[in-house]
Amino acid sequence: MGAYIIRRLLLMIPTLFGIMAISFIVVQFAPGGPIEQIIAQVTGQGGGADARLGAGGGSDLGGRDFEASGGETTSRYRGAQGLDPEFIAQLERQFGFDKPAHERFFLMLWNYIRFDFGESYFRDISVVDLIIEKMPVSISLGIWITLISYGISIPLGIRKAVKDGSTFDMWTSGVVIVAYAIPSFLFAIMLMVLFAGGSFFDWFPLRGLTSDNWEQLSWPARILDYFWHLTLPLTALVLSAFATTTLLTKNSFLDEIRKQYVITARAKGLGERQVLYGHVFRNAMLIIVAGFPGAFISSFFTGALLIESIFSLDGLGLLGFRSVIDRDYPVVFATLYIFSLMGLVISLISDITYTLIDPRIDFERRDV
């Protein structure tokens, strides 16, 4: 197992390099970079980022003021005609675009290897602090989605496997499939209209994880307030996760129930409950339990962008989206690097979990 882990760790290096290289190349061809964002603000054309511009039409970058206008100049930046060349040059130095692309790429990788992710272009805060600031929302959503979906799906999936082909199995399958087919953001809008002050009831809040007076509340009231704010987002997010895990659990149990060792156990006179929970459960739950880390990371990082937007939850999903729109490249690349690294590590942890649950699995004898 040790050799397998070392191979997987070594394989992470070219994988991460490929992910970052492809993303970096794509970004080079994307229009409207951070310098264009500043130019748009300076020239009064608008822009997607808060560029920390000076009130007089110049830009306070590096402690120096620059005029927004100047002599005629030819620039490769859209909308830069007529601006002071020194102003453009200072912007390039500010954002690191005075260096060739390949030099910027390898410098970025060297910094990331040392977990130095720099500062956001437009938020005046380090990328790590920014991610930490947004993390409580995503952690809350990820933990509760995973626990709720597993807590409902596993018992339901076992029951469906035992009652395979029955009326209960058929109508619950219909409900599960319909739930899976409904987009979470569409269900979220429906919940908002019905229960959050839309056309019907005003039972739940629409913004944040806590109320404005949360600090003044008692501890029991804080807990209730926290779950009061999470009810609608979690209900919308858990729908598809609940459906997927339920069907996976059912199919896993059905595969085990039909195996020879189950027939032998029944022939020896063991009751159905003993067969199900004494023999089938451990083998059938292998794929479910081993997939738990991956399921958590998936719900933690990828499932909440639209939900965070709809319910005004300022988490990592919304941060990533806004960073792409604003061309805040340090945040974009740092989050991509961190999430890719965590995804690769979690994949390795899932494989190790398989061997801990079932020692018969030996990754040493298979190719990576």
CA dist 50 to 44, 61, 127, 325, Å? 13, 13, 16, 12
Residue 357: which of 266, 268, 282 has the closest Cα?
Answer: 282
Residue 33 in contact with residue 47, Cβ under 8 Å? no
What angle do helix axes 219-257 and 167-181 make, rounded to 10 degrees? 120
- Which residues, 6 or more positions from 305, have their beta carbon under 8 angstroms from its beta carbon? 317, 318, 320, 321
Taking alpha carbons only, the member of 223, 74, 76 closest to residue 144 is 223
CB proximity list for 336: less than 8 A, separation 6 or greater: 19, 20, 23
pLDDT at residue number 60: 41
User: What is the reported pLDDT for 20?
Assistant: 92
CA–CA dist 53, 78 (Å, integer):
18
Which pLDDT value is given to residue 21? 93
Structure tokens at 28: 């080079």
Nearest by Cα to 32 from 69, 90, 77: 77
Domain boundaries, the chain: 35-95, 128-365
pLDDT of residue 192: 86
Per-residue pLDDT, 360: 65
Per-residue tens of pLDDT for the chain, all 368 residues: 678 788 888 888 999 999 999 989 988 877 777 777 777 777 666 544 444 433 333 334 433 343 444 444 445 666 566 666 777 777 777 777 878 888 889 999 999 998 888 888 878 788 989 888 888 888 888 888 888 888 888 889 888 988 888 899 899 988 888 888 888 888 888 888 888 876 778 888 877 788 888 888 888 888 898 889 888 888 888 877 777 788 888 888 888 888 888 888 888 887 778 888 777 887 777 777 766 766 666 666 555 677 887 887 888 877 878 888 888 888 889 988 988 888 888 878 877 777 776 666 666 655 54
Distances in Å between the Cα of 203 and the Cα atoms of 193, 231, 310 are 11, 10, 16
User: pLDDT at position 71, please?
Assistant: 46
- The pLDDT of residue 364 is 61
Q: What is the pLDDT of residue 14?
A: 92
Encoded amino acid at 302, one letter: T
CA–CA gap between residue 364 and residue 290 (Å, rounded):
18
Q: Are 304 and 141 in contact (CB under 8 A)?
A: yes
Sequence-distant (≥ 6) Cβ neighbours of residue 260 within 8 angstroms: none
Query: Hey, which bits of 270-337 come out as E strands?
Result: none
What per-residue confidence (pLDDT) applies to 298?
A: 67
What does the pLDDT look like over 270-288, one tens digit per residue?
Answer: 777 888 877 788 777 777 7
Who contacts 97 (Cβ-Cβ below 8 Å, separation ≥6)? 33, 35, 91, 104
When the candidates are 1.10.3720.10, 3.40.630.30, 3.60.9.10, 3.30.450.20, the CATH number that belongs to 128-365 is 1.10.3720.10
First-to-last alpha carbon distance for the chain, in angstroms, is 12
Convert the pLDDT of each residue in 235-272 to its tens digit: 888 877 777 788 888 888 888 888 888 888 888 887 77
Task: Indicate yes or no: pTM above 0.75.
Answer: no
Structure tokens at 192: 């908002």
